[in-house]
Amino acid sequence: MKYGHFDDINMEYVINTPYTPLPWINYLGENDMFGIISNTCGGYSFYKDAKLLRITRYRYNNVPRDMGGRYYYIKDGDSIWNPGFMPTKTPLDSYECRHGLNYSSFDSSKNQVEAKLTCFIPLHTNAEVHILKISNHSKEEKKLSVYGTCEFCLYNAVDDSNNFQRNYNTGEVLIDDHSVYHVTEYRERRNHFSFFYVNEKISGFDSDLDTFIGPMGSWEMPKAVKEGKSFSSVASGWSPIGALRNDLVLKPGEEKTLVYVLGFVINPYEEKYTKGGKINLIRAKELIKEVDSEKKAEDKLQELKEYWKKLMNIFHVSTPDDKFDRQANIWNQYQCMTTFQMSRSASYYESGIGRGMGFRDSCQDILGFVHLIPDKSRERILDLAAIQSEDGSTYHQYQPLSKKGNADIGGGFNDDPLWLVACTSAYLKETGDFSILDEKCAFDGKSPDKTLFDHLKASIFFTLDHKGPHGLPLIGRADWNDCLNLNCFSKYPGEPFQTVSNYESHKAESIFIAGMFVKYGEEFSDICFHLGKDELGKDVKDQVENMKKAVVNYGWDGEWFLRAYDAFENKVGSKDCSEGKIFIEPQGFCTLAGIGEKEGLGKKSMASVKKYLLDDYGVELLSPCYKSYHLELGEISSYPPGYKENGSVFTHTNPWVIIAETKVDNNEEAYDLLKRIAPPYIEDKSEIRRAEPYVYCQTIAGREAPHYGEGKNSFLTGTASWSFVAISQAILGVVPTLDGLKLDPHLPEEFKEVKIKRIYRGSTYQIHIKRVGKKSIAVDGRPVDNNLIKIEPGKNTYNIEMTI
């Protein structure tokens, strides 16, 4: 069953009922200010950091689930409704929500009044703009009251939701003919404020929540709206809101547009107050002036759309499969942008007050994002490197505002360092900008003379310096699988699984990290050779060979790769185990890294994946699921069977298998797996999957779960990046390398002809692949015998004809 459809031309998903199984959300913003918005207008906005600078209030874990939002009320006689349906839930005569690339629009009608609301954040602007167009399609004049509303958060979202003894005293606002300014705590330590503005002079206002909604009231039917009034309340303590009323008279056929601005302003300390000692609002007025008419606002929206068109033009494919194209050209890349911006901080499942930016998460997010905005990737790589220590270990997370490592969780996740090599290598292959390696970058604030190259080296040697009894990498607190806690032993409720202790067994080893080391050790040695550091390159290459041997000797279980050795040197993920016999991660990563190629291990491993782990929605993380808690394994066995790390389709790992399948030339299997996981292919099962049909979820409940097929934790998942790598590089075979673009497609049989446009290092590559049963490549009509397309300086366009 579907609840909408894709509109590929406009790059939108169109939802035609507010009754989606879960809130279906979208993101606004591309720079500093961001918003989350659902298909019923729920969500919130924040500046840079969803924890410390939350602009509007949202109540997670609420009933109904999605409460708090950009709520517009239209009062038309006795009928009171919202263009986004919530919160009045008044049945609408028509409803449509379109989630586009960083904007969402709602088009609804009731009693022949139509409301079109479009929400977006203009490029490089610290404000959400909401354009509300109201038209009267009836034959009579309509007298309407329109209320634009928002509920302010007192900035620190954690404090806002628990420190009521203070917070009910601090709220302060200023009001003028168009706006409510939220200036809580401005009198002392804050030099920022937010505001809610409408471009028409208001007919009335409220700024105190309790007054607006009335005794025992709610957003569902605020007293003021019900009575068609405003109470001119000026918030003093309690909960400040912006509720702006505009009374409109619309003749038959008439349309009227209101432009609302939810803005955020930071004043320089010296300009906090005007000479007269008043709060300096000049920056707010300037901001407002940029968008205070329909024309100005529409122009900004157009600019945003153009920006996205340009981004989506960097990589564009056309194959015989529409769903493949839709995923590759629009939604996968869009999700890559979102994960790059948010890491795992703010979604409907990540409350924005928990963790900051994950180290490994952000490193991996770059893999699918770097072609879109290389400069932002560059900056991110240097920020990430800055939380690494000289021995190569890294903090596991950092806060986006301070860019400092998060001391609560610390480090000790032994896969983390290698991800820095992964993203830097991806950056170098995309851009050829080796200067990044010379950038000065201190280790955790110490040794300022060190360069990024020193960091990569430290990452590689961290793995080499932390090997266990079988010569395999020690796992530490956990590797990519945060829930495989082989040294932690968490016994009591409330104890963190990962940090309760770190019993350094010096025995628990990870075959997954071994696979990573082979892959990224090789990439690091390529970088060394490229820089003329041959000795180091050779040395690391030898170590890579040793690691391969160690995996073949001690990491192979007969039909598949083992997962790990635990602190007591017992095998994890082996046919000898009673539960958790086979895990996905080492099958994907060791095979894609080419371990055991000669011995044919990859083919066997992939066959076992198919036999034991493949379900209708992808490849499950492990099988059989753990039925009881294993102290020596940790959080993984704390989840009920089929959920999260305990045997769901943990989607992030599936592109590794897709890439691995292409590595052993199982092209049909690779395509088949993509079709099981990529959202457009399962849109018609939306009642089962329940989550948004345009983005990946972190997990899809596995066969052992009661809700088999249900998706959770949508949007912020490393699946986005890896899936884009799998689609663009493994299946379509457009592979950036240090020396230029290489073509190595692994297309399914049914792709007889494929056209790809790729902008790469400033030149456009037009690639045309035809299946004729014979391999050849010609560049601009000249046959070449190498699939690495030689870079010719000054050349703008490469026309490539390839046959397979």
Q: Which of 96, 361, 522, 523 touches ligand GLC by CB under 6 A? A: 361
Size of the site for ligand GLC (CB under 6 A): 13
Residue 205 CB, nearest approach to ligand GLC (Å): 43
Stretch that binds ligand GLC, among 122-130, 161-169, 354-362, 373-381 (CB under 6 A): 354-362
Cβ atoms 35, 28 nearer than 8 A: yes
645 lies in the site for ligand GLC, by CB under 6 A? yes
Closer of 81 and 715 to ligand GLC (Cβ): 715
Decide if residue 722 touches ligand GLC (CB under 6 A): no
Nearer to ligand GLC, 47 or 413 (CB): 413
Task: Select 483 or 590, whichever has its Cβ closest to ligand GLC.
Answer: 483
Name the nearest CA neighbour of 56 among 174, 180, 151: 151
- Residue of 171, 242, 358, 693 interacting with ligand GLC (CB under 6 A): 358
Q: Which of residues 364-423 bind ligand GLC (CB under 6 A)?
A: none
Element (H, E) at 768: strand 763-770
**Which of 377, 608, 698, 763 is the binder for ligand GLC (CB under 6 A)?**
698
What's the closest the beta carbon of residue 266 comes to ligand GLC, in angstroms?
30
- Give the residue among 203, 195, 229 at the shortest CA–CA distance from 214: 229
603 burial (CB, 10 Å; 0-12 / 13-18 / 19+) is middle
In eight-state DSSP terms, residue 642 is T
- The window from 19-27, 32-40, 358-366, 467-475 that contacts ligand GLC (CB under 6 A) reads 358-366
Q: Which is nearer to ligand GLC, 430 or 645 (CB)?
A: 645
Residues classed as catalytic: 482
Residue 166 burial (CB count, 10 A): 10
- For residues 474-513, which are near ligand GLC according to CB under 6 A? 480-483
Ramachandran assignment for 532, one of left (phi > 0), alpha (psi -120 to 50 degrees), beta (any other): left
At its nearest, how many Å lie between ligand GLC and the CB of residue 360?
5
Q: Give me Rg for the CA atoms of the chain.
A: 28
With binding defined as CB under 6 A, does residue 30 bind ligand GLC? Answer: no
First-last CA distance in the chain: 38
CA distance 454 to 6: 47
Whether cis (ω within 30° of 0) applies to the bond prior to 640 is no
At position 444, the amino acid (one-letter code) is D
629's tokens: 């808690």
Residue 206 vs 482, nearer CB to ligand GLC: 482
**Backbone phi and psi for residue 61, each to the nearest 5 degrees, phi listed first:** 60, 40
Counting Cβ atoms within 10 Å, is residue 562 exposed (0-12), middle (13-18) or buried (19+)?
buried
**Cβ 537 to ligand GLC, closest distance in Å?**
29
Smallest distance from ligand GLC to CB 635, Å: 5
How far is residue 94's CA from residue 535's CA, in Å, rounded to a whole number? 69
Q: Closest separation between CB of residue 482 and ligand GLC, Å? A: 4
Task: Answer for the pair 551, 598: CB distance below 8 angstroms, yes or no.
Answer: no
Cα angle, residue 439 at apex, residues 437 and 441 outer, rounded to 5°: 110
Copy the structure tokens of residue 396: 């596991």
CB of 498 to ligand GLC, least distance (A): 7
Q: Which stretch binds ligand GLC (CB under 6 A): 357-365, 521-529, 589-597, 610-618?
A: 357-365
Burial grade of 787 (CB within 10 A; 0-12, 13-18, 19 or more): middle
Return the residues of window 146-205 that contact ligand GLC according to CB under 6 A.
Answer: none
Q: Which of 130, 344, 457, 581 binds ligand GLC (CB under 6 A)?
A: 344
Q: Which of 70, 604, 644, 758 binds ligand GLC (CB under 6 A)?
A: 644
Give Dmax over CA atoms of the chain in angstroms: 85
Q: Which of 75, 110, 326, 360 binds ligand GLC (CB under 6 A)?
A: 360
Among 509, 635, 683, 692, binds ligand GLC (CB under 6 A): 635
Closer by beta carbon to ligand GLC, 85 or else 583: 583
Supply the angle between the helices 654-663 and 584-592 in degrees, to the nearest 10. Answer: 40
Q: Give the residue with the Cβ less far from ligand GLC, 208 or 479.
A: 479
Query: Given the rule CB under 6 A, which of 98-106, 170-178, 287-295, 352-360 is the region that contacts ligand GLC?
Result: 352-360
Q: Which residues bind ligand GLC (CB under 6 A)?
A: 344, 355, 358, 360-361, 480-483, 635, 644-645, 698
